[in-house]
Amino acid sequence: MNKNLGKLFLIPNTLGDISPNKVMSLTIRDVIHSTHHFVFEKEKIGRAYIKRWCPKKSQSELAVQTLNKHTSQQELLQMLNPCFSGHNMALITDAGCPGVADPGADLVLLAHQSKVSVQPFVGPSSILLALMGSGLNGQQFAFNGYLPIDKQSCKQAIKNFERISSSNNQTQIFIETPYRNSRCFELLIDFLSANTLLCVARDLSLPTEFIQTKTVAEWKKNELDLHKRLSIFLFLHPSA
């Protein structure tokens, strides 16, 4: 790596309304304090996060760029300019770890291609925390993002992932937008086999954290409030 180039720091965010120093190392505070160039997914959320770590840090002096699913390739190519000028930068997502189920991965890859050093920091990841707490296979697993919105397409996807889970002994992991969580849960228990193990993890790392693994048959006996709650779903079908 070129010693004259700045570094790209990958700074995790909290998974909800909790003080960051309760779930992350104080090293992150030191990095944020000494950094002036930032890339946020949403500027408002990013600035608020900086303020929680370093309340006395001048917001007007921050050099801010935004990176999201609408960012063009041309805009992306220019984002590392501060690093090329010798300045360190910090990439901060709205929640969890940058680059994991997050558009920040594009900037991280570009940094590698541009010989810019990348330094990730430890923080909460809903995917990893849910897998840790599920009791499902943590050696063979796949994160699949979002299920299709259309009901029939969703059914086909669930059945397909269940076949993969069974044949490969592989845990399948999904996320959903908070306002569709309840529907996602209902579709999973409707279309998965009764003996498939399903884990629901909600509000991870927060005081209201909930995580349970049961068979689909057992879940059908329970009501679960997931509406507008950050949730993640995992399932494992017994091997054939």
The string of pLDDT tens digits covering residues 128-155 is 999 999 999 999 999 999 999 999 999 9
Q: Do residue 146 and residue 192 come from a single domain?
A: yes
pLDDT at 229 (0 to 100) = 86
- pLDDT mean over 19-30: 93
pLDDT at 151 (0 to 100) = 94
| Enclosing domain of residue 95 | 8-120
pLDDT at 178 (0 to 100) = 87
- Position 195 in a domain: yes
Q: Do residue 112 and residue 174 come from a single domain?
A: no
Long-range contacts of 68-77 (CB under 8 A, 24+ apart): 68/41, 68/42, 68/103, 69/103, 71/103, 71/106, 76/106, 76/107, 76/110, 77/110
Model confidence pLDDT, tens digit, residues 178-205: 889 999 999 999 999 999 999 999 999 9
How many domains is the chain built from? 2
Q: Do residue 96 and residue 174 come from a single domain?
A: no
Q: Do residue 108 and residue 144 come from a single domain?
A: no
**Entry pTM:** 0.90
pLDDT at 239 (0 to 100) = 78
Q: Which of 98, 120, 142 is the last residue of a domain?
A: 120
CATH number at residue 41: 3.40.1010.10
- Position 165 in a domain: yes
3-state secondary structure of 184: helix
Please check the confidence at residue 221 and state whether its pLDDT lies above 70: yes
Bigger pLDDT: 49 vs 240? 49
Q: Do residue 135 and residue 173 come from a single domain?
A: yes
- pLDDT mean over 73-102: 95
Q: Do residue 99 and residue 136 come from a single domain?
A: no
pLDDT at 223 (0 to 100) = 84
Q: Do residue 201 and residue 103 come from a single domain?
A: no
Model confidence pLDDT, tens digit, residues 165-177: 999 999 999 999 8
Percent of the chain with pLDDT over 70: 99
- pLDDT mean over 57-80: 93
pLDDT at 228 (0 to 100) = 83
Tell which residue, 175, 198, 184, has the closest CA to residue 155: 184
pLDDT at 240 (0 to 100) = 62
CATH number at residue 210: 3.30.950.10
- Position 1 in a domain: no
Q: Which of 68, 85, 120 is the last residue of a domain?
A: 120
- Position 3 in a domain: no
